[in-house]
């Protein structure tokens, strides 16, 4: 019997293990999956510490959005721990001034008690607008945000705003790397993924059709299939 690959799954802002449910079940024959809990840390460094403390000496690493930022920070800090890397619906560059200002505005609203998680109005940022009538999908996205909650939202926004730009560290990544995104991702566009895949030696770029920002949840089958190929490469 082949030994399973330890796989750390790092969720995005306002996401939890539900994001990865299909991948956890669909890869269970080859991967021993663990989902990071990013509800208490307020920096990328602290999130990296959490992952490194939980995982064995060598493991595979996959991160979506904020989880991708953490994955890149971990690769820069402890590359010897990671045997393969998946960057999903994420980007290597830091926030623009405009993005930071927008995050500060959201933080101020949440601090005033006006935290509503992911509302129906915000859903098109996360999933395709044409999927808005998929009740199971929309309930899953809004349910994750509700469970993660306001305090974690504030900590996570701080971690995202203060993260490092990792464009210069990409060429040093020397493990099998999957770069995957939804073609219609509104938050981290395809162009960001094309740039990452071009900068990382021998990275594989996978584009999931008819898909927004939360690809593992929105189009689980092609994401799980791509991750299986990556884990077995």
- pTM reported for the whole predicted model: 0.94
* pLDDT band with cut points at 50, 70 and 90 for residue 189: very high
Per-residue CA distances from 4 to 27, 31, 81, 195 (Å): 10, 5, 16, 32
Rounded Cα distance, 144 and 158, in Å: 19
- Residue range 43-51: mean pLDDT, rounded: 97
- What local confidence, expressed as pLDDT, does residue 95 receive? 73
Dump pLDDT digits (tens) for 75-108. 999 999 999 999 999 999 877 677 666 766 666 6
- Provide the greatest CA pair distance for the chain: 55
For residue 81, the 8-state DSSP code is G
Neighbours of 171 (CB within 10 A): 11
- Residue range 17-34: mean pLDDT, rounded: 98
């Amino acid at each position: 019997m082949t030994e399973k690959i330890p796989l750390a799954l790092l969720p995005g802002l306002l996401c939890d293990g539900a994001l990865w449910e299909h991948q956890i079940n669909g890869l269970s024959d080859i991967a021993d999956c663990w989902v990071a809990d990013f509800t208490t840390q307020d920096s990328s460094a602290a999130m990296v510490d959490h992952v490194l403390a939980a995982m064995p000496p060598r493991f595979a690493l996959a991160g979506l959005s904020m989880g991708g930022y953490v994955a890149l920070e971990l690769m820069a800090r402890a590359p010897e721990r990671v045997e393969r890397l998946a960057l999903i619906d994420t980007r290597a560059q830091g926030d623009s001034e405009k993005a930071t200002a927008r995050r500060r505005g959201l933080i101020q609203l949440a601090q005033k008690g006006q935290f509503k998680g992911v509302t129906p109005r915000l859903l098109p940022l996360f999933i395709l607008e044409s999927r808005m009538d998929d009740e199971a999908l929309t309930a899953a996205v809004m349910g994750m945000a509700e469970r993660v909650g306001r305090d974690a939202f504030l900590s996570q926004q701080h971690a995202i705003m203060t993260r490092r730009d990792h464009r210069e560290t990409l060429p040093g990544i020397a493990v099998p790397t999957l770069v995957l995104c939804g073609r219609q991702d509104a938050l981290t566009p395809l162009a960001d993924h094309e740039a990452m895949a071009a900068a990382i030696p021998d990275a594989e770029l996978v584009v999931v059709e008819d898909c927004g920002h939360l690809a593992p949840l929105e189009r689980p089958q092609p994401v799980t299939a791509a991750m299986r190929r990556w884990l077995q490469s």
